[in-house]
Structures are given as structure tokens and as C-alpha cells.
Chain A
Amino acid sequence: QDGLKQCLAEFRQQLTWVERLDVTLGPVADPVSQNASTSDAVDPENDFQREMSFYRQAQAAVLEALPRLRKLQVPTRRPDDYFAEMAKSDQQMQKIRQKLKSKQEAMERSEKAKQLRAMRKYGKKVQVEILQRRQKEKKNMLNAVKKYQKGLSDKLDFLDEEQTSSQGNKKGNASQRTKKGPNAKRRYKNQKFGFGGKKKGSKWNTKESFNDVSSFQSKVAHNKGPGKGKGGKGGKKALNKRPGKRARQKMKNRAR
């Protein structure tokens, strides 16, 4: 230890501070440091903390030294028109700038992609909503029209632009139904499934249709018509011409 001190004493040079430009200072106080207790013991394993402590130490040194230098009239700032060789060549700096730019671009691209995806999702949602709304409107409109056709309501609120008022009036005068109208259950079902659920009902066997013999043609019924329209009635005649299964089999047996 004494040897060290002696050696140091011999070795030390007497130089002005300007020559040496050394500063011994601890790091600048960190405004965002969590607790003061841990600021002393910088964990060397924690890379970020370590590098930040080095950075702050350098900052402290700079903050202390620059004013001194300025007082001693040593220039510190490089004027803008002073061009000299730099430690790293321009090519190197170009490479560095390229790398930084590419990193930034990659980040931006990923951000854009994310935004696009989010927007697409939103757009899709909006589109779906619009379609659903249109369908609902259409359904309502059709229901209202059907109501007219059945003659349940005589208001024309849904027909703002259309010109079917004449038709509506006719239907309206025809019936002045009672308030109840169809059953509650019927009404509920109508509302749920719409009026279009029941078809025309034109093929029912009602009393009227049973007693209606207007579509009877005796010639067709007795199969005595001329081949008036072979296309029209040909199918039936052809069918009648063919004997039945039993008759056919008899014929076959007889033939054998």
C-alpha cells in the first residue's frame, strides 16, 4: 500500500487541468429513479440500469467540464462550416442511418398492418349491421303490404313515395273489422312468422270447390275425345291405350 502511494507520488505528473481534462464525479441524479436506496448499488447484471448509470456519469462530467472549458476559452462546439475527418467514415454513418431507417420502417409497416386489420374488422361489422338493417326494413315493408292485402289496417304510413293509394282505399272500404280480428295466438304467430306463411289455399277441398263441377269434360272422363290436341291430351290417351299389367301378362303368357 505504501509502495503504491510512493509510486503514485513519483509517477504523478504536474499538468494543468486543460491538458488532462479529467473529471471525477458520480452520476447525475436520476429524476425517474424509483428509490434512493437502490441508486447507490447499481446491479451490474441489470444491463439497462448499468448503462444508464454510465450515461449519467458522463452527463455529470460534461455538465461540470463545459463551463470550465468555456471560461478557459477552449472551443467546445464545432462550427457548422468546419469540415474535418471524422472517426467513423461517412460510409459507416450511412450504414448506421440505413439500419435505423429500416428498423423504423419495419415498425411502421407492422403498425399499419395492425391498423388495417382493425379497420377491416370494424368495416365488416358496420357492413353487417347495414345489411341487417336493410333486411329488417324490407321485412317490415313486406309485412305492411301483406297487412293491406289481408285488409287488417287501413293506414298508409309505410307508403311515403308510392302511388298505391287507390288500391289501399278499396281494400279499406271493403272491411271494417272488429278490433279483435284474429285470435291472440294467431296474431302472435303472424307477427313472428309473417303473413306470407300461409299460401294461397287454392287447392283446398272446400264445400264450394267440391260442388263445383265446371271443370268436368265428359269426353275426357270417358276417354272418347278425338285426338284434338295430341300434345294436350295425348299423354292421357297414350296412357289409356296401354293395357294394364294383368292384361299384359296374360298376353305374354298366351304368346309363349
Chain B
Amino acid sequence: GKWKNKERVLIFSSRGINFRTRHLMQDLRTLMPHSKADTKMDRKDQLFVINEVCEMKNCNKCIFFEAKKKQDLYMWLSNTPQGPSAKFLVQNIHTLAELKMTGNCLRGSRPLLSFDPIFDREPHYALLKELFIQIFSTPQYHPKSQPFVDHVFTFTITDERIWFRNYQIIEEDASLVEIGPRFVLNLIKIFQGSFGGPTLYENPHYRSPNMHRRLIKLSVAAKFREKQQVKEVQKIKKKGTKVLVEEDPTEVVFETPAEEKPVEIQLVKPESKPIVKDKKKLRKIQRKKQKKLFRTER
């Protein structure tokens, strides 16, 4: 057949990404035959430069990875000429090369896309679904693609995040093995234009990683401060001014001095107590005696 659906996706990143992100990028490139690679972009340039880059490469979609502080990874998905774009925070990346992912698929085979029903319920999710479909589905009869359908991408919404998984279809009865990379997308914002423009949607549940770290540090600090405060309060209590009680004159009335005892001088040494080495044994003997008595009484 003829290749009609001319989708091309540009996958590239900014500088300062770590090995995991780089591998993820490479994995995406191998999984999507309709993708193109580009060199790293300097972060000093503005984001709308990306549009020009895309146009030069004749791509109409783009996946851009941006790494900040060598810790946080942001992913932009965009439809370059004028379409919408979305920014996500990426977490929990596992790449193709991990030994626990035992599946394999043809390079360039077309994927099946599976979405959660929640995607149809909200308009912003519907928009994202459309974006995902256009970006991730390999066009039919693409020259680099293989005609078989042997793996499936799943996008699920759990815990206000989008979870991505890639499974290999082994049997027709839907037995699956996980192949491919996995990551979690946390939506930040959806823009009307590509890499800019008015904000169409802002995720209320999103908390930036900086904020997150700050909150953790604050909570730790708060705990410590609380402990200090409690200690201070205790110190004050201890030192605190003691109440002076006045002398009560009527107290003396009830005082009666004790009688004097006659002085006794002991001339005979008192009997020494038998030294009991084993109190338990003594007790045991006593008990036995009592038992005997009891029995004889009966």
C-alpha cells in the first residue's frame, strides 16, 4: 500500500540530561520508526526556536526532553506548526535495557494503543489522548515499519498521573510480556500554541519537584523546631518561681512530744537468727508441712 499518513516526530533533548534519559530517548527512537533525531539544544535559546528546528527537519510533531538541575526531567509533546502542546514531569523511568524486561518486538512494528476509559471523560484528557495517538502510532505502510502488530502501548491514569507501559503480544489469547521502557507522566500545563501561547489547562494536582523537596525539608525542620520548643518550655517550668507558703500559727497546736523511753542496757547477746541459705527451700519445707497437716486434719 501507499504511505499516506505523513507523520514525523522529532525526538531530542536539551543539555544536562543523565544516562537514563538518554537511553529512554534512544529507546523511543527505536520503537518509533517515524521519528527523527537531532542534536542537543542549548538551554539558553527560547523554546519557540524548537518550532523552527522542526520545520527544518520537516517534522510535524515533537518530543522534547528538558532536564533541570540534573534531577528533574520535563517532557514536551507538541504539534509543531500551530497545534497544542503539553508539558509533563517524567518520573520512574525504566529503559529497554533493564534485564527484568524480558519481551522483545520487531523494530519498527506498529503498536496497538490502549487507553484508560478515563481519557474519554475529561476534555483535557481527550486532547491528550488525541495527541498521544498522533504521536505514537506508526503510520501504515511507512517504509521503515514492519507490517505486523506485535506490541501494545498502554496509557493508564492512576493517582492523577499517566502511566506508560509497553507489552509484547505473544499469543493470540492476549498473553503479554513487558518489553519496553516505562515511565510516568505528570501533566503540568497544556498550551494552545506549540511551545507557547495561552494556557488551555493547568493541572491543579501538580506540585513542582522543587516545591516537593522544599516541603520535605520544611517538615523535617518543623519537627526539629517543635522538639526545641518543648525543651524550652520544660526548662522554664523547672526554673520557675516557687510559691512561698506562709507559716500557719495554728499548726503548732496539735503537736505533742513523744514520751521518753527508759534507757535499756542489754547484757545478754541476743539470739542469732538462723542463717537461711535457701529461702525457697525453707518455704518449700513449710508448704509441705502445711500440706501434711491439712491432709491429716481431713
Q: Are A59 and B174 interface neighbours, CB within 8 A?
A: yes
| B91 interface residue (CB < 8 Å to A) | no
B127-135, B207-215, B249-257 - interface stretch:
B127-135
Q: Are B158 and A44 interface neighbours, CB within 8 A?
A: yes
In the complex, what residue of chain A is closest to B136 when comparing beta carbons?
A22
B-side contacts of A86, CB under 8 Å: 104-107
Main secondary structure of the interface of B (DSSP, over half): mixed
A-side contacts of B129, CB under 8 Å: 22, 24
Q: Are A78 and B150 interface neighbours, CB within 8 A?
A: yes
Shortest distance from the beta carbon of B289 to any chain A beta carbon, whole Å: 33
Q: Are B127 and A8 interface neighbours, CB within 8 A?
A: yes
A23 and B113 CA atoms in complex are apart in Å by: 6
Q: Are B192 and A3 interface neighbours, CB within 8 A?
A: yes
B-side contacts of A4, CB under 8 Å: 123-124, 127, 190, 200-201
Q: Are A20 and B147 interface neighbours, CB within 8 A?
A: no
A87-95, A115-123, A217-225, A242-250 - interface stretch:
A87-95
| B73 interface residue (CB < 8 Å to A) | no
Main secondary structure of the interface of A (DSSP, over half): helix
Q: Which of B157-175 touch A at CB < 8 Å?
A: 158-159, 163, 165, 167, 169, 172-174
B-side contacts of A256, CB under 8 Å: none
**Residues of A within 8 Å of B, CB-based: how many?**
52
A77 and B148 CA atoms in complex are apart in Å by: 6
Q: Are A24 and B115 interface neighbours, CB within 8 A?
A: yes
Q: Among B84, B106, B149, B167, point to the contact of A7 (Cβ < 8 A).
A: B84
A26 and B180 CA atoms in complex are apart in Å by: 21
| A109 interface residue (CB < 8 Å to B) | no
Q: Are A24 and B117 interface neighbours, CB within 8 A?
A: yes
With contacts A18-B140, A77-B172 taken as known, whether A24 is within 8 angstroms of B158 at the C-beta atoms is no
| A96 interface residue (CB < 8 Å to B) | yes
Shortest distance from the beta carbon of A54 to any chain B beta carbon, whole Å: 5
Q: Are B174 and A63 interface neighbours, CB within 8 A?
A: yes
Q: Among A44, A65, A85, point to the contact of B159 (Cβ < 8 A).
A: A44
A86 and B154 CA atoms in complex are apart in Å by: 20
A44 and B116 CA atoms in complex are apart in Å by: 15
| A25 interface residue (CB < 8 Å to B) | yes
B9-17, B94-102, B216-224, B226-234 - interface stretch:
B94-102
In the complex, what residue of chain A is closest to B160 when comparing beta carbons?
A44
Which of A44, A50, A54, A65 neighbours the largest number of chain B CB atoms within 10 Å of its CB?
Answer: A54
Q: Are B96 and A87 interface neighbours, CB within 8 A?
A: yes
Q: Are A60 and B114 interface neighbours, CB within 8 A?
A: yes
23 pairs, CB–CB < 8 Å, chain A vs chain B: A7-B84, A11-B83, A11-B131, A12-B130, A21-B149, A22-B114, A22-B115, A24-B120, A24-B129, A26-B117, A54-B154, A55-B176, A59-B174, A61-B112, A61-B113, A63-B173, A66-B149, A69-B149, A75-B147, A87-B179, A92-B96, A96-B102, A99-B99
A-B contact sample (12 more), CB < 8 A, given A8-B127, A87-B96? A8-B123, A13-B134, A21-B137, A22-B115, A23-B113, A25-B115, A53-B156, A57-B156, A75-B148, A78-B106, A85-B108, A96-B102
B interface residue numbers (CB < 8 A to A): 5, 30-31, 79, 83-84, 96-97, 99, 101-102, 104-108, 110-117, 119-120, 123-124, 126-127, 129-131, 133-134, 137, 139-140, 146-150, 152, 154, 156, 158-159, 163, 165, 167, 169, 172-174, 176, 179-180, 190, 192, 198, 200-201
